[in-house]
């Protein structure tokens, strides 16, 4: 697979994985490509913890599911991220950003336009939708064959200092290498983010993983193999139907948009 093909086929996996364990060779490859990312002065501030213990994965899944239920029940999740929710393909085409939510639970679909209003919040709570979604999140995380904790060396990651930016930039490059490689390996990956949304829950994962004081746990991902039929197919980007996205591209100055490129949003993540 060529690099451009992997980039174009990259996606977040919101569904389940195959039960097969991630092979030792593929684990090694993922760590190799992450470690080959650029970093300021070759500082290599990243550290990784590979998690295959069923007990640990199930505990993190419980934390994640409970966090999702709480964040959705009290409205903080919807309030924080509602600028990014899209409820139709037409809206996705118009905004050219965000996440497409076209699979809301059946009882809520008639109220899609009000889903993230106070009235919609009360309706979802009365129907126990946060609990249903939290349970599904717990199931997805628990069924993952592998979790990956991403950490930064605190001697490099010092919030408020320039080194912190360099460390975060380097970590992003490492994770992009790893993410693109999952496409090559027939795998999927998703950020386990909900424990970050609820006070105290992230600290539970830090303790569970015995993260030493000199390291900062920055993220946890779930990984696994994706069924062949759910993998994004190769894309013919030479087709006249494929256009270059330029809505965020400028020429020479940050207030001078690039001209002459046709715009099209990238395929929606859902």
HEC sequence for 51-94: ECCHHHHHHHHHHHHHHHHHHHHCCHHHHHHHHHEECCHHHHHH
Could you tell me if 86 and 45 lie in one domain?
yes
Contacts of 38 (CB under 8 A, 6+ apart): 170, 173
Report d(CA 45, CA 29) in Å as an integer: 19
Q: DSSP 3-state helix, strand, coil percentages of the chain (rounded to 5)?
A: 45, 15, 40
Do 146 and 256 sit in the same domain of this protein? no
Q: Residue 96: which region, alpha, beta or left (left: phi > 0; alpha: psi -120 to 50)?
A: left
Question: Residue 244 has what pLDDT?
Answer: 52
Q: Are residues 196 and 91 in the same domain?
A: yes
Reported pTM: 0.85
* Whether residues 212 and 253 fall in one domain: no
Residue spans of the chain under pLDDT 50: 240-241, 264-265, 268, 270
Model pLDDT, residue 232: 67
Number of domains in the chain: 2
In sequence order, what are the beta bridge partners of 151? 47, 217
What's the pLDDT score for residue 241?
45
Which residues have C-beta within 8 Å of that of residue 26, sequence separation ≥ 6? 185, 187
pLDDT of res. 111: 62
List beta partners, residue 85: 99
pLDDT at 240: 43
What is the tens place of the pLDDT at every residue in 210-251? 999 999 999 999 999 999 877 766 666 555 445 555 556 666
Task: Supply the range of the domain harboring residue 41.
Answer: 3-239
Q: What pLDDT is attached to residue 237?
A: 55
Q: What local confidence, expressed as pLDDT, does residue 110 receive? A: 67
Same domain, 134 and 265: no
How far apart CA 193 and CA 198 sit, in angstroms, is: 10
Domain containing residue 64: CATH number: 3.40.109.10
Alpha helices in the chain (DSSP H): 3-9, 24-35, 54-73, 76-81, 89-95, 118-126, 129-142, 162-184, 194-197, 201-208
83 and 135 in one domain?
yes
pLDDT of residue 91: 87
Say what the pLDDT of residue 58 is.
98
| Whether residues 200 and 249 fall in one domain | no
Residues 251 and 233 in one domain: no
């Amino acid at each position: 697979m060529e690099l451009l093909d992997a980039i174009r086929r990259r996606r977040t996996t919101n569904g389940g994985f195959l039960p097969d364990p991630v092979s030792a060779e593929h684990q090694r490859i993922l760590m190799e490509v992450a470690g080959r990312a650029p970093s300021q002065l070759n500082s290599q501030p990243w550290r990784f913890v590979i998690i295959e213990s069923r007990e640990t994965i199930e505990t993190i899944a419980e934390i994640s599911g409970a966090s999702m239920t709480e964040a959705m029940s009290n409205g903080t999740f919807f309030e924080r991220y509602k600028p990014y929710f899209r409820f139709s393909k037409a809206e996705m085409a118009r905004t050219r950003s965000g996440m497409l939510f076209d699979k809301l639970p059946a009882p809520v679909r008639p109220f899609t336009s009000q889903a993230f209003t106070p009235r919609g919040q009360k309706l979802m709570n009365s129907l126990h939708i946060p609990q249903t979604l939290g349970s599904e999140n717990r199931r997805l995380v628990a069924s993952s064959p592998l979790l990956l904790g991403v950490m930064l060396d605190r001697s490099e990651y010092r919030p408020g200092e320039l080194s912190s930016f360099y460390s975060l930039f380097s970590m992003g490059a490492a994770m992009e290498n790893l993410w693109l490689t999952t496409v090559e390996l027939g795998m999927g990956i998703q950020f386990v983010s909900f424990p970050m949304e609820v006070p105290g829950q992230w600290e539970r994962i830090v303790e569970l993983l015995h993260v030493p004081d000199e390291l900062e746990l920055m993220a946890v991902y779930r990984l696994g193999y994706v069924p062949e039929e759910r993998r994004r197919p190769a894309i013919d980007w030479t087709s006249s139907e494929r256009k270059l996205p330029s809505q965020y591209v400028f020429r020479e100055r940050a207030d001078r948009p690039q001209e002459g490129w046709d715009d099209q949003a990238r395929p929606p993540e859902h």
